[in-house]
Amino acid sequence: MNLNPNSVPRLAIVIPCYNETEVFPFCLREMGEYLNDMIRRNLVRAESYILFVDDGSRDDTWQQISAAAKEHSFVRGLKLSCNKGHQAALLAGLANATQADAIVSIDADLQDDINAIGKMVQSYMAGHEVVYGVRASRQTDTAFKRTTAELFYRMMTVMGVKQVFNHADFRLLSQRACAALLEYHERNIYIRGLVPLVGFPAEEVYYDRKERMAGVSKYPLRKMLALAMEGITSMTVSPLRLITFVGAAIGAISVLLFLGIMAYWVLKGCVSGWAFVIVALFAATGIQMLSLGIVGEYVGKIYLETKERPRYHIEEKEGFPAGNPSVPA
Ligand code: UDP
Ligand code: MG
């Protein structure tokens, strides 16, 4: 651990928002009070601020953010041109959280306990440049979400991906760690897989996850599956390797079957069993299609990466100091 404690940081709190009209007023009040309390306690510097990123909302989330940024000096707003997804919105926020020594990212619905931010800052001042918010309990998540999340984390571990269990995108990054993260230019973004690759001294802070305070989850099953797929394909090529092993195993089984059939033929003088042949045919075709699909997934990702398209476009900014240019995607 770094034994030279960092000085009181100027903190930026990045909050991606997508159709959060019901949640925003509550989030602004709670986060605003918490931030100002931290400033009063001299835990963070007075120039600290909250940066709301509107991820192309179709409701009046941006109007609310923009009005708040005009009213409060501690609020900044960034509007993306259309919905690019949580990970891209978060990245846009991190890239534009300028003039900050440390940056905390948190969801707008405040399911993550904001009191953990104080602990994160203390951990930062003790020398940690990455502080992971880890859910001590997931009682508020459905049994389905808990089980699938557990399964996903285990699968990633088996595939050799380093990931902090029960950590989503609630974390503190030092300016240096944030700059390092932004050096990863991929389009297939899975931030919680990239952060451990960045390195730097890290620590975990535990908290209890609460219920979403209003509105509905912006992560339906479809988006959750897409994120899991991004996570796997952006972090590891293990599934491709698995195909090789499955292919080799099937090859070995077919050799054994052939030898068995030959033995049967020698002993009995005839071979029958079309049903068995059909089952084997279906199994082999299924595995081939699955393998093709997995290879296709990676080929598709290569196609998207080679185009190097921008990950987001900024449409508007509010509350930023004059002359503060947008950071390109
Ligand atoms: N979000 C976003 N873009 C999207 C989907 C979600 O910016 O396309 C934001 C959302 O407003 C929230 C955070 O990502 O601040 C996490 O979403 P949510 O709380 O709905 O996810 P859950 O907690 O249900 O997994
Ligand atoms: Mg949530």
Top CATH class of 11-219+311-318 equals: alpha beta
pLDDT at res. 18: 96
Q: Which atom of ligand 1 is nearest the CA belonging to 83?
A: 8
Substitution candidate for ligand 1 out of 219, 222, 225, 311 with most atoms within 8 A of CB: 219
Query: Among 4-18, 30-44, 283-297, which is the least confidently predicted range?
Result: 283-297
Grouping H, G, I as helix, E, B as strand and the rest as coil, residue 296 is helix
CA distance 181 to 95: 9
For the segment 177-233, what is each residue's pLDDT rounded down to a tens digit? 999 999 999 888 889 989 999 999 999 999 988 777 778 888 788 888 888 888 888
CA distance 302 to 308: 10
Distance from the alpha carbon of residue 329 to the mean position of ligand 1, in angstroms: 20
Residue 117: pLDDT band (50, 70, 90) is very high
pTM: 0.81
pLDDT at res. 2: 42
Element spanning 3, H or E = none
Contact 178, 13 (CB under 8 A): no
Q: Which of 206-233 are b and which e, b meaning 16 or more Cβ less than 10 Å from the residue's Cβ?
A: ebebeebeebeebeeeeeeeebbebbbb
Q: Which atom of ligand 1 is nearest the CA belonging to 89?
A: 7
Q: Which residue has a Cα nearest atom 19 of ligand 1?
A: 217
Contact 306, 294 (CB under 8 A): no
pLDDT at res. 267: 83
> Does ipTM top 0.90?
yes
Q: Read off the tokens for 175.
A: 């300016």
Q: Is the pLDDT of residue 299 over 80?
A: yes
Q: Read off the tokens for 260.
A: 């068995």
Q: Which atom of ligand 1 is nearest the CA belonging to 216?
A: 20
For the segment 126-161, what is each residue's pLDDT rounded down to a tens digit? 999 999 999 887 777 788 888 888 888 888 888 888
Query: What ligand has the least distance to the C-alpha of 56?
Result: 1
pLDDT at res. 312: 94
| Residues near ligand 2 ion, CB 5 Å cutoff | 107, 109, 111, 212
Q: Kindly report the three-state secondary structure assignment for every residue of 251-284.
A: HHHHHHHHHHHHHHHHHHCCCCCHHHHHHHHHHH
pLDDT at res. 3: 44
Tell me how far CA of residue 6 lies from CA of 44, 127, 139, in angstroms: 11, 6, 35
CA distance 101 to 175: 5
Grouping H, G, I as helix, E, B as strand and the rest as coil, residue 318 is strand
Mean pLDDT for the chain overall: 88
Pairing verdict, β 130-137 and 202-208: parallel
Q: DSSP letters along 116-157, please?
A: HHHHHHHHHHTT-SEEEEEEEE-TTS-HHHHHHHHHHHHHHH
What percentage of residues in the chain have a pLDDT greater than 70? Answer: 95
Distance from the alpha carbon of residue 156 to the mean position of ligand 1, in angstroms: 22
